[in-house]
C-alpha cells in the first residue's frame, strides 16, 4: 500500500508538474510574506525596546511629567524619599538640526548620579580632557549620530529658536546601541544652552534592596496625584504599560501588513482546492477502479490528503526559507520600519525564531489540507459503480452547490463586521472578510447555474428555427449551463483573486484621495513658514512673529504652537496644537467630522481628532482637563476633526487661550495669507532677506502636498508590493484552474471531434468559455471586492488607525487588471485546448488502462 501510495502521488505530479508547482508556489508566497513581515517587525520592535531600555538603565521607577518639562523643585523630595538610593535627573530634548527633517535626541544628565542608574548615557572624554564631562560646550555623540551629522571641525550646529548653537563633540557615547542617534551632555549645560533653566523631563529612581517596586510605585503615584493632580506619571521602565505604549505605535500597522500577506496564503489555499478538486474529478474513474480492486474508503481519503499534505509541506518549507531571506534583505536595504517610520533610529538584525517558523509552517500545512478536504471527502464517499461510468464528473462536486452554508457564513460576516475591536484591533472585521469570501466562493456554482441557464434559454429562444445559428455558441452555453459545479471551481479562482485585489486597491486609493483632499482643506494659506522641520527646540520669538506678519503682500498671519501632553501613562503623548480657530465656524480651518457645537458661555473650546474619540472616549460637549503650565485646566470639546498626520491623537485649542494659560509667546510656525494682488514670489524674496531667514523653512501648499503624497507612497510601498503579488498569484491561479479543467476534458473534446466538430470550433468553445467564466467572475468579484472595501474603509481602518475616509474607486487600475484576467483566461484555455486536442480523437475517448 505504501508503494501504491507513492506511485499514485509521483505519477500525478509527473503527469501534471506545473499544476503542483503553482499550488506549492502559492503556499510558499503566502508563508514567506507573512513570516518575513513577522521577522522584520519582531527584530525592529525588540531592538527598539532594547534601545529604550538602554536609556533607562537600571532605574526601578521613572517619574515623568504630563507635559514635556516640569519644575525641578520636586527633585529633592523624590531624592530624599524613603527607599530611594539614587535619584538621577534627566532633561530630554528633541534638538532641531538645521537642514535636517529629523531631530537629534539629546539627554542632559548628572554624570555622577547617572553612573549609578544609566551608565550607557555616559560619554567618554579624551584622556587629557576629563573635564569635558561637565564642560559648558561639550556634547557626546553616539556612533550613528556621528555618521549622520558628520561634524565638521569636531562641532555640530543645532537650532534654538531661530539662533544657531554650536557645540563641541567631546567624545563618543559607547553605550548607545547600533543605529541609535542620541547625544548626551551635562544637565546644567543643557538647561542653560536650550533655555530650559530649572526644568526636567524625567527623574530615574534606584530603590534600595528589598523595597517592593509595585507598592512603591502605587504609593508614589497616589502621593503625587494628591499633591500635584494630573501632573506626573509614575512607571516602571520596560514594564507592561511601557511595552504596550511602545508596541501600540506600530501594532495596527504590523497586523494589517500580516493580514495582507495572508491574503496570498488564502488565495494559495483556494489554488490547492481547485487543483485537487479538478484532479479528483479527472481521476474519478481511476479511484473507483481502485475501490473495486480493494482499496478502502479511508485509505483513498488518506491518499488524497497526503497529496495535499505534500503540497503544504513543500510550500511551507520553501516559504520559511524564502521569508528569512526576504527579511534579511528588507532590513538591509529598506530599514526596520518598511517605510512607515515607527522604528527609525534602530539597526536591527534578523534572528530566526523557531516558534514563529513552526507556527507559519503549520499554518501552511493546515491551509493545504483544508484546501483538499472537500475533494478528498467527495472521492471517498463516491460509489464505485457510479463513478466508473463516464459523464458523472459533474455530480462529483454537487455538494458544493448547496446555498444555505454560504448564506449562513455571509450573514455571520455581516454581524461580525459590526462588532467592536478587540485590543484595539479589528479582529472581527478581518474575520468577517474571510467568512464573506468563503461564502461568496461557495455560492459560485449556484450563481453560475442561474446565469448560464438563463443565457442558454435566451439563446435557444433567440435562435429557434434559424438554421444559421452558431453551433459553437450553442455548445458553449449548453456546457456552461449543465456543468455549473466545475464552472464554479473555475469561477472561484477568479473571484478570490480579483475581489481581494479590488478591495485592497479601493482601500489604498480611498486613503490616498482622502489624504489629498484633507491636505487641500487644511492648507488654505499661500505660504507656510516654520522655524525647523523636525525637533522641538526651534521657534519664533514675538518680535520675529511681528516681522513675518509685516512682510510685503501679507494680508493675514496665522501662528501655530505645537507641543505634546500625556493624558495616560499607557499611551503615547498626544499633540497639542494652538492656533487661531473661529469657534463659530471651525470647519474653515479644520476638517470637521460630524456636528460642531459652540462652547458654553465662559468655557474654553477645544477640537479633538478622531483618535481622541476612540482612544480616550472624548465626545462633543464633554468637559475635559488638560495639563498646562503645571496645572489642570478645564476645556469643552466643541468638535471632532479628521487628522491623518497623528494617529496617536491631536487636540486643537485657541492660541489666545494657550498663551493666556502658559505665558508661552513663541510660535512653531506661521501660515501667511497674501493680499489678492500680491505674488508669492515677492513675499518669499522678502522673507529670504530677513536676518533670521537661514533658520526658516518656507513652503507653498503644492510643495507640502507633493511631499506628503511622496511620504504616503513610501509608507504604502509594502502594501503596493503585496497587492501586486496578489494580482500575480491571481493570474497564475486563473491559468492553473482553466488549464487543469481543460486538460481534464480531453475525452469530451475527442467525442466532439467524432461527431464532426472541427478543431477550430473546439478552440473557439474553449476561448468563449474562458472569457465568459472570467467575465462573470470579474463582475461578481468586483461586487464582492466593493463590499469588502466597505469593511476595510469604514470598519478596519477606523478601528486600526482611528480615522475615517471617503470611498474612491480607481477605475483605470481595476479595468487594467480585469483585462489581464480576461486575456489570461482565454489564452490559457486556448493553450490547454491545443494540448488536449494534440492526441487525436480516437486516443482521447479510449477507456482502456
* 73-122 tens-digit pLDDT: 999 999 999 999 999 999 999 999 988 888 999 999 999 999 999 999 99
Beta carbons within 8 Å of 28's beta carbon, 6+ residues apart: 268, 314, 315, 316, 318, 319, 322, 364
* Residue 224 within a domain: yes
* Cell numbers standing for residue 432: 468577517
User: Which of 220-234, 390-404, 683-697 is predicted with the least confidence, judged by mean pLDDT?
Assistant: 390-404
Q: Are residues 134 and 94 in the same domain?
A: yes
CA distances from 579 to 517, 530, 561, 668 (A): 21, 14, 7, 10
Nearest to 607 by CA among 411, 615, 598, 465: 598
Instruction: Return the pLDDT at 837.
Output: 64
If asked whether residues 485 and 534 sit together in one domain, one would say: no
Decide if 72 contacts 200 (C-beta within 8 A). yes
Backbone torsions φ then ψ of 523, nearest 5 degrees: -120, 65
Phi/psi for 266 (5° steps) reads -60, -45
Determine the pLDDT at residue 702: 93
Say if residue 361 is in the same domain as residue 421. Answer: no
Which of 379, 396, 413 terminates a domain? The answer is: 396
Of 147-151, 202-206, 263-267, 295-299, least confident by mean pLDDT is 263-267
Q: pLDDT-based confidence at 591, cuts 50/70/90?
A: very high
The span from the CA of 752 to the CA of 572, in Å, is 71
Residue 845 gets which letter from DSSP?
T
In the chain, how many domains are there?
4
What is the pLDDT confidence band of residue 847, given thresholds at 50, 70 and 90?
Answer: very low
Residues 90 and 198 in one domain: yes
| 830: in domain | yes
Mean pLDDT of 501-512: 90
pLDDT beyond 90 at 514: yes
State the average pLDDT over residues 304-327: 90
Cβ proximity of 726 and 261 under 8 Å:
no
In the DSSP assignment, the letter for residue 96 is B
Name which of 261-265, 406-410, 657-661, 756-760 the model is least confident about. Answer: 261-265
The pLDDT-based confidence of 362 (bands split at 50, 70, 90) is very high
* Residue 62 sits in the same domain as residue 28: no
315, 27 in Cβ contact below 8 A? yes
The range of the structural domain enclosing residue 364 comes to: 1-56+243-396
Query: In whole angstroms, how far apart are CA 498 and each of 668, 775, 781, 786, 821?
Result: 47, 11, 6, 11, 8
- Could you tell me if residue 317 is inside a domain? yes
All three cell numbers of 499, joined, read 475581489
Across the range 258-270, mean pLDDT stands at 70
* End residue of a domain, out of 699, 714, 734: 699
- 331 touches 41 (CB < 8 A): no
What's the grid cell of residue 282?
479527472
The percentage of residues in the chain with a pLDDT greater than 70, rounded to a whole number, is: 86
Please give the Cα distance from 370 to 366 (Å, whole number): 6
CB contact at 8 A, 108 and 93: yes
Same domain, 268 and 149: no
Residues 251, 375, single domain; the answer is yes
Of 684-693, 720-729, 828-837, highest mean pLDDT: 684-693
Between 17 and 131, the higher pLDDT residue:
131
Q: Are residues 832 and 709 in the same domain?
A: yes
Judge whether 534 lies within some domain.
yes
Q: Please indicate, yes or no, whether residues 220 and 249 belong to a single structural domain of this protein.
A: no
Residue 743 pLDDT: 64
Instruction: Answer yes or no: is 260 within a domain.
Output: yes
> Are 736 and 780 part of one and the same domain?
yes
Between β-strands 61-65 and 182-186, what pairing exists: parallel, antiparallel or unpaired?
unpaired
Residue that finishes a domain, picked among 236, 260, 292 = 236
Note the pLDDT tens digit of each residue in 428-446. 999 999 899 889 988 888 8
Average pLDDT over residues 188-201: 96
Res 815: pLDDT: 92
- From 348-357, 415-424, 467-476, the region with the lowest mean pLDDT: 467-476
**Cα–Cα dist 640/638, whole Å:** 7
- Position with higher pLDDT, 772 vs 274: 772
Q: Name beta bridge partners: 347.
A: none
Which residue from 60, 258, 242, 182 is spatially nearest to 719, judged by alpha carbons?
Answer: 258
Residue 787: CA count within 13 A, CB half-sphere:
18
pLDDT of res. 401? 63
Name the pLDDT band for 69 (thresholds 50, 70, 90).
very high
Residue 739 located in a structural domain: yes
**Domain co-membership, 269 together with 413:** no
Listed in sequence order, the residues at least 6 apart from 393 whose beta carbon sits closer than 8 Å to its beta carbon are: 281, 282, 284, 486, 744
Condensed to tens digits (0 to 9), the pLDDT of residues 273-301 reads 776 776 777 677 777 777 887 888 888 88
Sequence-ordered alpha helix ranges (H) in 716-810: 717-743, 746-754, 759-791, 797-801
Q: Are residues 803 and 731 in the same domain?
A: yes
Q: What percent of the chain has pLDDT over 90?
A: 46
Mean pLDDT of the chain: 85
Per-residue model confidence (pLDDT) at position 830:
75
Crossing angle of helices 354-381 and 297-333, rounded to 10°: 150
In a domain, 522, yes or no: no
Residue 393: band (very low, low, confident or very high) from pLDDT cuts 50, 70, 90? low
**Residue 758 located in a structural domain:** yes
Task: Kindly report, residue by residue over 203-249, the tens digit of the pLDDT.
Answer: 999 999 999 999 999 999 999 999 999 899 998 886 545 545 555 55
Q: How far apart, in Å, do the first and last CA atoms of the chain sit? A: 20
Cell triple for 827: 489564452
Amino acid at each position: 500500500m505504501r508503494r501504491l501510495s507513492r506511485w499514485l502521488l509521483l505519477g500525478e505530479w509527473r503527469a501534471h508538474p506545473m499544476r503542483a508547482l503553482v499550488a506549492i508556489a502559492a503556499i510558499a508566497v503566502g508563508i514567506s510574506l507573512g513570516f518575513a513581515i513577522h521577522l522584520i517587525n519582531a527584530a525592529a520592535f525588540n531592538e527598539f525596546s532594547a534601545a529604550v531600555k538602554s536609556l533607562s538603565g537600571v532605574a526601578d521607577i521613572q517619574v515623568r511629567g504630563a507635559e514635556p518639562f516640569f519644575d525641578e523643585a520636586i527633585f529633592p523630595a523624590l531624592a530624599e524619599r524613603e527607599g530611594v538610593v539614587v535619584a538621577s535627573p534627566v532633561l530630554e530634548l528633541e534638538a532641531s538640526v538645521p537642514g535636517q527633517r529629523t531631530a537629534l535626541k539629546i539627554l542632559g544628565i548628572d554624570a555622577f548620579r547617572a553612573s549609578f542608574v544609566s551608565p550607557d548615557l555616559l560619554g567618554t572624554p579624551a584622556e587629557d580632557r576629563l573635564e569635558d564631562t561637565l564642560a559648558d560646550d561639550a556634547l557626546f555623540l553616539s556612533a550613528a549620530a556621528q555618521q549622520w551629522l558628520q561634524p565638521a571641525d569636531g562641532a555640530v550646529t543645532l537650532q534654538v529658536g531661530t539662533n544657531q548653537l554650536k557645540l563641541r563633540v567631546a567624545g563618543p557615547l559607547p553605550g548607545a546601541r547600533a543605529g541609535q542617534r542620541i547625544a548626551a551632555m551635562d544637565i546644567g549645560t543643557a538647561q542653560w544652552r536650550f533655555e530650559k533653566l530649572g526644568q526636567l523631563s524625567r527623574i530615574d529612581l534606584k530603590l534600595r534592596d528589598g523595597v517592593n517596586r509595585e507598592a512603591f510605585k502605587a504609593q508614589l503615584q497616589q502621593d503625587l496625584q494628591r499633591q500635584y493632580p494630573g501632573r506626573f506619571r509614575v512607571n516602571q521602565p520596560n514594564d507592561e504599560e511601557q511595552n504596550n505604549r511602545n508596541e501600540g505605535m506600530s501594532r495596527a500597522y504590523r497586523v494589517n501588513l500580516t493580514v495582507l500577506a495572508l491574503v496570498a496564503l488564502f488565495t494559495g489555499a483556494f489554488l490547492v482546492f481547485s487543483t485537487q478538486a479538478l484532479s479528483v474529478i479527472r481521476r474519478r474513474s481511476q479511484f473507483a477502479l481502485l475501490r473495486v480492486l480493494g482499496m478502502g474508503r479511508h485509505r483513498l481519503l488518506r491518499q488524497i490528503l497526503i497529496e495535499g499534505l505534500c503540497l503544504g509541506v513543500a510550500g511551507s518549507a520553501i516559504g520559511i526559507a524564502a521569508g528569512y531571506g526576504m527579511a534579511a534583505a528588507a532590513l538591509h536595504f529598506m530599514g526596520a520600519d518598511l517605510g512607515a517610520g515607527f522604528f527609525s533610529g534602530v539597526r536591527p538584525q534578523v534572528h530566526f525564531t523557531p516558534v514563529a517558523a513552526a507556527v507559519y509552517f503549520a499554518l501552511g500545512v493546515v491551509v493545504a489540507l483544508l484546501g483538499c478536504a472537500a475533494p478528498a471527502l467527495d472521492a471517498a464517499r463516491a460509489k464505485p459503480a457510479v463513478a466508473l461510468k463516464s459523464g458523472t464528473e459533474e455530480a462529483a462536486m454537487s455538494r458544493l452547490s448547496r446555498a444555505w452554508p454560504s448564506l449562513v457564513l455571509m450573514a455571520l460576516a455581516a454581524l461580525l463586521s459590526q462588532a467592536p475591536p478587540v485590543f484595539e484591533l479589528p479582529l472581527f472585521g478581518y474575520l468577517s472578510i474571510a467568512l464573506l469570501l468563503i461564502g461568496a466562493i461557495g455560492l459560485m456554482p449556484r450563481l453560475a447555474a442561474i446565469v448560464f441557464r438563463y443565457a442558454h434559454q435566451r439563446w435557444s429562444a433567440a435562435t429557434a428555427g434559424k438554421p444559421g445559428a452558431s453551433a459553437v455558441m450553442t455548445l458553449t452555453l449548453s456546457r456552461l449551463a449543465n456543468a455549473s459545479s466545475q464552472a464554479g471551481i473555475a469561477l472561484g479562482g477568479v473571484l478570490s483573486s480579483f475581489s481581494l485585489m479590488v478591495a485592497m486597491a479601493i482601500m489604498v486609493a480611498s486613503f490616498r484621495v482622502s489624504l489629498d483632499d484633507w491636505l487641500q482643506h487644511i492648507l488654505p494659506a499661500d505660504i507656510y513658514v516654520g522655524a525647523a522641520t523636525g525637533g522641538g527646540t526651534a521657534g519664533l520669538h514675538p518680535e520675529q512673529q511681528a516681522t513675518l506678519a509685516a512682510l510685503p503682500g501679507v494680508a493675514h498671519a496665522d501662528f501655530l504652537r505645537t507641543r505634546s501632553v500625556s493624558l495616560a501613562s499607557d499611551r503615547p503623548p498626544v499633540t497639542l496644537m494652538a492656533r487661531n480657530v473661529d469657534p463659530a465656524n471651525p470647519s474653515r480651518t479644520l476638517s470637521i467630522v460630524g456636528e460642531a457645537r459652540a462652547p458654553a458661555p465662559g468655557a474654553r473650546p477645544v477640537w479633538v481628532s478622531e483618535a481622541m474619540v476612540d482612544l480616550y472616549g472624548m465626545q462633543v460637549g464633554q468637559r475635559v482637563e488638560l495639563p498646562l503650565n503645571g496645572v489642570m485646566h478645564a476645556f469643552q470639546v466643541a468638535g471632532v476633526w479628521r487628522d491623518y498626520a497623528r494617529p496617536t491623537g491631536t487636540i486643537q485649542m485657541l492660541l489666545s487661550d494657550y498663551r493666556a494659560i502658559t505665558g508661552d509667546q513663541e510660535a512653531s510656525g506661521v501660515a501667511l495669507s497674501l493680499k489678492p494682488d500680491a505674488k508669492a514670489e515677492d513675499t518669499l524674496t522678502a522673507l529670504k532677506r530677513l536676518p533670521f531667514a537661514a533658520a526658516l523653512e518656507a513652503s507653498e501648499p503644492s510643495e507640502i502636498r507633493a511631499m506628503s503624497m511622496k511620504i504616503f507612497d513610501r509608507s504604502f510601498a509594502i502594501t503596493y508590493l503585496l497587492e501586486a503579488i496578489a494580482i500575480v498569484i491571481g493570474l497564475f491561479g486563473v491559468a492553473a484552474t482553466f488549464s487543469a479543467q481543460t486538460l481534464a476534458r480531453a475525452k469530451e473534446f475527442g467525442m466532439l471531434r467524432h461527431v464532426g466538430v472541427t478543431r477550430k470550433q473546439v478552440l473557439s468553445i474553449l476561448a468563449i468559455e474562458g472569457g465568459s467564466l472570467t467575465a462573470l467572475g470579474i463582475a461578481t468579484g468586483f461586487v464582492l471586492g466593493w463590499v469588502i472595501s466597505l469593511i476595510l474603509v469604514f470598519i478596519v481602518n477606523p478601528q486600526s488607525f482611528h480615522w475615517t475616509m471617503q470611498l474612491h474607486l480607481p477605475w483605470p487600475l481595476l479595468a487594467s487588471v480585469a483585462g489581464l484576467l480576461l486575456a489570461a483566461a482565454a489564452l490559457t484555455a486556448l493553450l490547454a485546448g491545443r494540448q488536449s486536442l494534440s492526441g487525436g480523437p480516437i486516443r482521447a475517448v479510449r477507456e482502456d488502462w
